[in-house]
Chains A and B, each alone.
Chain A
Amino acid sequence: MNYDICIIGAGVVGSLIARQLSKYKVRIAVIERNVDVSMDATGANSGIVHSGYDAKIGTKKARFNVEGCNMMPKLCEDLSVKCKMIGSFVLAFDKEDEKVLQQLYDNGIQNGVTGMAIVDKDFILEKEPYVNPLVTKALYAKNAGIVSPYKLNIAAMDNAIMNGVTFLRETKVTGIEKKDGLFHISVDVTGDICSMSKVDPIKEADRTDITTKIVINCAGAHADEISHIVGDDSFKIIPRRGEYILFDKTEGSRINTVLFQTPTDKGKGILVTPTVDGNLMIGPDATVAQDKDDKCTNSDNLDYVYKTATQSYTGLNMKKSITVFAGIRATPNTSDFIIEESSKCRNFINVAGIESPGLTASPAIAVYVESIVKSLVEMKEKEKDEYTMTVKHDKPFSEMTNEEKEKACSSDELCRKIICRCETVSEKEIVAAIYAPCGARTVDGVKKRTRAGMGRCQGGFCSPHVMRILSEHTGIPINRIAKANANSCILGRYSRG
């Protein structure tokens, strides 16, 4: 299939770029090795909208962080994704820490951050009663918040697909050759879930003989390998693992802002934050991962996360933890984001090394990449009625008022079947997640879109029901229904009889 633009990687950056370019009259494909969007760095992310005081002045990180932070609320509104600008504190516990606060403040001013103030203990404890009372001062950033990274990622891809973008899942780039100014991309098929699905099955023709004029490399931790294929070894990605502990919603109600410790050379320290869905989360640590796909958690690291979090927040109740997880950050050896056309290969754009504050920066990165692409090829905008930049979602059942629930139930039978008890998710929402433009094909895919299985029982009750619904609608046999990728089928063979 001939495309104009191929984007490699369907994390939040790749998906927002796809959406941004989908308003033009160009054929776009997003090639993703996993079964779904948001399976790597985006999927295990702190979900913080950083205000932008800590990125080094003059860097791409600083620029796109501040721009992205300002864009995030409107973007989320357009995509029906929850974003709460709840503000953040960097907490200081001694004079040394306080010096760091001042440096961050000064840095923030230079970066163009607004709404910052250095505040005293009373202010902090009034807003956050469970902060360690030994706190002395804090840098308060009003213009900071939280967003669900995977919800943003999914909505961006939904939007891109609505505008005609082809999403090639379970498709791994193995080679890129340039002939007569055209890229020929060879791929491996990594799984059969999306071809088995009778809802929007992958058409084999779409991933056979792929050619494209432009390649945008958004391959996260693997971006250096993709760049290497076209002969550009100008950067390396050093994968760094971060581990998190997530707590029950009962715990999320006691915290109102994002709590940082003073940053170290390893990163922004262990943060304590509510999530947009009302849980409490702590993490991440930062350890160099030997393998770019090693997302194992380790007891020593989890202990470190917990102990370090208790230094800033006294309200943690480990009995209320509901899950732990790890993510890999794509840390570049260049210390800044790499967003440019490769100097070694025309029309090959690297968007690499997008570590923190990558999620915050992603809306601004998408707009910037749009300008790079426009400088390389001519693109005509579609007519106004040929595309949309908004995605509408029905309100989740759990967030409706009693009157709204009553109305929803009276008009739709599927609303009346609650599948996930912990998170009050109806069958209607699960079915909608399957039929969405970027639809769920797996149990984790349903979980990220609907929250079914995200609650305190972690799918103990609802997973058999979710699997049945997935199987019924996609036609994938129940024993081939997977948790995540095709190698993660949940069940084995049928028993006798």
Chain B
Amino acid sequence: MVKEFNLVIIGGGPAGMAAALEAYALGIKDIAILERDDSLGGILKQCIHNGFGLHVFKEELTGPEYALRFSEKIKETDITVLLNTMVINAEKNKTLYAVNPDFGFMTIKAKAVVLAMGCRERSRGALRIPGANVAGIFTAGTAQRFVNMEGILPGTKAVILGSGDIGLIMARRMTLEGIKVLGVYEIMDYPGGLTRNIVQCLDDFNIPLHLSTTIVKIHGIGRVTGVTTAKVDKNMMPIKGTEEYVECDTLLLSVGLIPENELTEQMGVGMYQVTGGAYVDQDLETDTEGIFACGNVLHVHDLVDYVTMEGQKAARSAKAYIEESIEQKKTKPEIKVVPGNGLRYVLPQHIYLKDNDEKIKVFFRSKARYKDIVVRALINDEVIAKKKVIRLIPSEMESIEIKVSDLFIQTDNGINLKDLVIEVEQ
């Protein structure tokens, strides 16, 4: 079966739903969302805690409530929602191959594609944690699914490795379900998750957070019976003599998220190594025309609100593409955006100088923790933007606004191209 759409959005989580609604509001006809699960909402459906929507709705919602705000609206539109639909292959020419129970094998052709597949969790194997190959080891998100959606608990005594947000949320969640959470172990010397989650999920429940500490061995026969922890040195190598045995029957891993870009790569889209997502311009367009990316498949966000906004932006760009009003940008001068001192990555990674009045928000994450600093945008040795940041930490994304008119000036109207550097002022 061949289906054709103007806009196909892969993934019906927060990014995909926001993109679909925005595209619909802008008047795009023939929009489809392809979602692998049996309902829209993505990972939000299992995030039953609150704290979502402070930016977008100016109120505090739970994950399912936040998702419902979008999925209910989608129901009122004629957006085609294909559930239980797995995209199994994709081509550069925006032909997708998918299967679902209603239509079987489908060939789906799109004028524009928005990638919104989200991310997956880093597994034990990827970390190569040595020890026994036993049951009782879960990624935090999988455990969250079991507890919140299937109503079954992973165990009775848990240790959490990594202080990513899902791990922190699960520390509280498991405690509320009567599971003893013995501690959270973080290899870095600072927590990986949001400060508010450290306070509300660990401190409030007297769950200890052990920084600069990792798990060096998993013990057990059949099922986890304990873990050996150890302090790490500056190079994150375990320090001999600091080993401690912790008895537990469950180990949760909250050690990082990996954008799920296998389809993106199948389509031949260029990737940006640092984020693990596509290499994009200010329109969130990848290096393959008509393919846009947003949400956690592009780079891992800390707040769903930002994911929503990114999805909306991708939809606006997709509309412009479908109406053939942005592709001429590729004839315009192009500037690379690079992370300078103190920063790990920037997004977008390149900017087309197409509109003198355009203002661009460049998002970034730092490599380390900073207090009371200035982040600046530098081109041609000229500072074109500055922003005071009271606290900059790797787990919280920040942004700085750039005026394209400044870029025109500094490059002699796009003749002498230089890189735009975003950096922490020394």
Interface flag for B147 (CB, 8 Å):
yes
Which chain A residue shows the least CB distance to B120?
A457
Q: Are B142 and A487 in contact (CB under 8 A)?
A: no
Q: Are B105 and A410 in contact (CB under 8 A)?
A: yes
Q: CA separation between A474 and B35, bound complex, in Å?
A: 29
Interface flag for B274 (CB, 8 Å):
no
Report which of B86, B130, B154, B222 forms a contact with A491, defined as CB distance below 8 A. Answer: B154
Q: Which residues on A sit within 8 Å (CB–CB) of B135? A: 482-484, 488-490
Q: CA separation between A488 and B141, bound complex, in Å?
A: 20
Which chain A residue shows the least CB distance to B276?
A319
Q: Are B104 and A458 in contact (CB under 8 A)?
A: no
Q: CA separation between A189 and B115, bound complex, in Å?
A: 52
- Highest count of chain A CB atoms <10 Å: which of B99, B131, B219: B99
Q: Are B139 and A460 in contact (CB under 8 A)?
A: yes
Interface flag for B199 (CB, 8 Å):
no
Interface flag for B325 (CB, 8 Å):
no
Q: Are A484 and B222 in contact (CB under 8 A)?
A: yes
Q: Given that A402-B97, A463-B142, A482-B135 are contacting pairs, would A458 and B153 also be in contact in the complex, using a CB cutoff of 8 Å? A: no
Q: Are B154 and A487 in contact (CB under 8 A)?
A: no
Q: Are B105 and A402 in contact (CB under 8 A)?
A: yes
Q: Which residues on A sit within 8 Å (CB–CB) of B142? A: 460-461, 463-464
Q: Given that A299-B130, A424-B88 are contacting pairs, would A246 and B125 also be in contact in the complex, using a CB cutoff of 8 Å? A: yes
Interface flag for A58 (CB, 8 Å):
no
Q: Are A460 and B125 in contact (CB under 8 A)?
A: no
Report which of A478, A483, A492 forms a contact with B156, defined as CB distance below 8 A. Answer: A492
Q: CA separation between A484 and B103, bound complex, in Å?
A: 36
Report which of A410, A457, A463 forms a contact with B104, defined as CB distance below 8 A. Answer: A410
Q: Are A295 and B133 in contact (CB under 8 A)?
A: yes
Q: Given that A302-B130, A424-B88, A478-B150 are contacting pairs, would A322 and B104 also be in contact in the complex, using a CB cutoff of 8 Å? A: no
Q: CA separation between A464 and B219, bound complex, in Å?
A: 24
Q: Are A464 and B145 in contact (CB under 8 A)?
A: yes
Number of contact residues on A: which range applies?
Answer: 35 or more
Report which of A299, A324, A417, A485 forms a contact with B125, defined as CB distance below 8 A. Answer: A324
Interface flag for B74 (CB, 8 Å):
no
Interface flag for B155 (CB, 8 Å):
yes
Q: Are B123 and A492 in contact (CB under 8 A)?
A: no
Q: CA separation between A159 and B127, bound complex, in Å?
A: 38
Q: CA separation between A323 and B137, bound complex, in Å?
A: 13
Interface flag for A132 (CB, 8 Å):
no
Which chain A residue shows the least CB distance to B1?
A406
Q: Given that A402-B105, A405-B99, A413-B101 are contacting pairs, would A478 and B152 also be in contact in the complex, using a CB cutoff of 8 Å? A: yes
Q: Which residues on B sit within 8 Å (CB–CB) of A416? A: 84, 99-105
Interface flag for A333 (CB, 8 Å):
no
Q: Which residues on A sit within 8 Å (CB–CB) of B250? A: 492
Q: Are A487 and B86 in contact (CB under 8 A)?
A: no
| A449-497 with Cβ < 8 A to chain B | 456-461, 463-464, 478-479, 482-497
Q: CA separation between A496 and B100, bound complex, in Å?
A: 34
Report which of B123, B177, B249 forms a contact with A322, defined as CB distance below 8 A. Answer: B123
Q: CA separation between A293 and B89, bound complex, in Å?
A: 41
Which chain A residue shows the least CB distance to B36?
A421
| B81-133 with Cβ < 8 A to chain A | 84, 86, 88-89, 97, 99-105, 107, 120-121, 123-126, 128, 130-133
Mark contacts of B246-274 with chain A using CB atoms, 8 A cut-off: 1 yes-contact digit, 0 otherwise.
Answer: 00011000000000001000000000000
Which chain B residue shows the least CB distance to A490?
B135
Q: How far is the CB of B84 from chain A (nearest CB, A)?
A: 7
Interface flag for A310 (CB, 8 Å):
no
Report which of B105, B131, B152, B223 forms a contact with A488, defined as CB distance below 8 A. Answer: B223
Q: CA separation between A4 and B349, bound complex, in Å?
A: 72
Q: Which residues on B sit within 8 Å (CB–CB) of A391? A: none
Q: Are B153 and A494 in contact (CB under 8 A)?
A: yes
Q: CA separation between A34 and B222, bound complex, in Å?
A: 11
Q: Which residues on A sit within 8 Å (CB–CB) of B141? A: 460
| A181-217 with Cβ < 8 A to chain B | none
Q: Given that A295-B132, A302-B130 are contacting pairs, would A495 and B217 also be in contact in the complex, using a CB cutoff of 8 Å? A: no
Q: How far is the CB of B287 from chain A (nearest CB, A)?
A: 19
Q: Are A417 and B150 in contact (CB under 8 A)?
A: no
Q: Are A458 and B136 in contact (CB under 8 A)?
A: no
Q: Are B128 and A302 in contact (CB under 8 A)?
A: yes
- Highest count of chain A CB atoms <10 Å: which of B132, B135, B139, B222: B135
Report which of B104, B121, B130 forms a contact with A460, defined as CB distance below 8 A. Answer: B121
Interface flag for B146 (CB, 8 Å):
yes
Which chain B residue shows the least CB distance to A414?
B101
Q: Given that A405-B99, A421-B86 are contacting pairs, would A493 and B126 also be in contact in the complex, using a CB cutoff of 8 Å? A: no
Q: Are A460 and B223 in contact (CB under 8 A)?
A: no
Interface flag for A390 (CB, 8 Å):
no
Interface flag for B221 (CB, 8 Å):
yes
Interface flag for A24 (CB, 8 Å):
no
Q: CA separation between A453 and B344, bound complex, in Å?
A: 32
Interface flag for B239 (CB, 8 Å):
no
Q: Which residues on B sit within 8 Å (CB–CB) of A409? A: 99, 104-105
Interface flag for A304 (CB, 8 Å):
no
Q: Are B99 and A492 in contact (CB under 8 A)?
A: no
Which chain B residue shows the least CB distance to A442?
B135
Report which of B139, B155, B216, B222 forms a contact with A492, defined as CB distance below 8 A. Answer: B155
Q: Are B151 and A296 in contact (CB under 8 A)?
A: no
Interface flag for B134 (CB, 8 Å):
yes
Q: How far is the CB of B272 from chain A (nearest CB, A)?
A: 15
Q: Which residues on A sit within 8 Å (CB–CB) of B222? A: 482, 484-488
Q: How far is the CB of B266 from chain A (nearest CB, A)?
A: 11
Q: How far is the CB of A378 from chain B (nearest CB, A)?
A: 43
Q: Which residues on A sit within 8 Å (CB–CB) of B146? A: 464, 491
Identify 20 residue pairs between A and B in the complex whose beta-carbon atoms are under 8 Å apart, listed by A's number.
A296-B132, A321-B128, A324-B128, A406-B104, A409-B104, A409-B105, A410-B104, A417-B99, A426-B99, A457-B121, A464-B150, A484-B222, A487-B221, A488-B222, A489-B135, A490-B135, A492-B249, A492-B250, A494-B153, A495-B152
Of all A-B residue pairs in the complex, the 9 with the closest CB atoms, nearest first, are A323-B125, A487-B222, A409-B104, A418-B86, A483-B135, A488-B135, A458-B123, A488-B222, A406-B105
